[in-house]
């Protein structure tokens, strides 16, 4: 389920929710259901306060996994300044609510959880 609401010409909100239930016979050793959260929620705010600035905020909730990976909430934030159509400078923060959290990963590698760290970084982009 997903929806986008345009609040103004410079601001829109997007929300999405997924609910996953697997009711099929699963082959022995298949970890698809174990590594798939039953509930996920995603919210995004995209705001362009002026011609040169963009502010994007993302909230995610991911349900716990049956392999022992707990549920988590996280927020990502991106603020970008583009003084020309060729140049952009941005500051990005990911996983800002906690210093780290565990996410489900590839069971074929024998790994059921990877610790994801908080990160803050900047980017410079030059477009021709």
pLDDT in tens, 31-73: 666 667 889 999 999 999 999 999 999 999 998 877 777 889 9
| pLDDT value of residue 100 | 85
What is the model's pTM?
Answer: 0.80
3-state SS assignment for residue 109: helix
Quick one: DSSP state of residue 69? B
């Amino acid at each position: 389920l997903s929806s986008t609401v345009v609040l103004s010409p410079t601001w829109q909100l997007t929300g999405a929710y997924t609910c996953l239930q697997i009711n099929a016979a699963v082959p022995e050793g298949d970890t698809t259901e174990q590594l798939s959260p039953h509930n996920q929620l995603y919210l995004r705010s995209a705001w362009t306060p002026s011609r040169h600035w963009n502010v994007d905020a993302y909230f995610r909730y991911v349900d716990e996994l049956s392999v022992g990976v707990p549920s988590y909430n996280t927020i990502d934030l991106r603020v970008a300044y583009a003084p020309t159509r060729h140049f952009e400078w941005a500051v990005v923060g990911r996983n800002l609510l906690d210093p780290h959290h565990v996410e489900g990963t590839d069971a074929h590698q024998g790994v059921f959880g990877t610790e994801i760290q908080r990160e803050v970084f900047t980017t410079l982009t030059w477009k021709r």
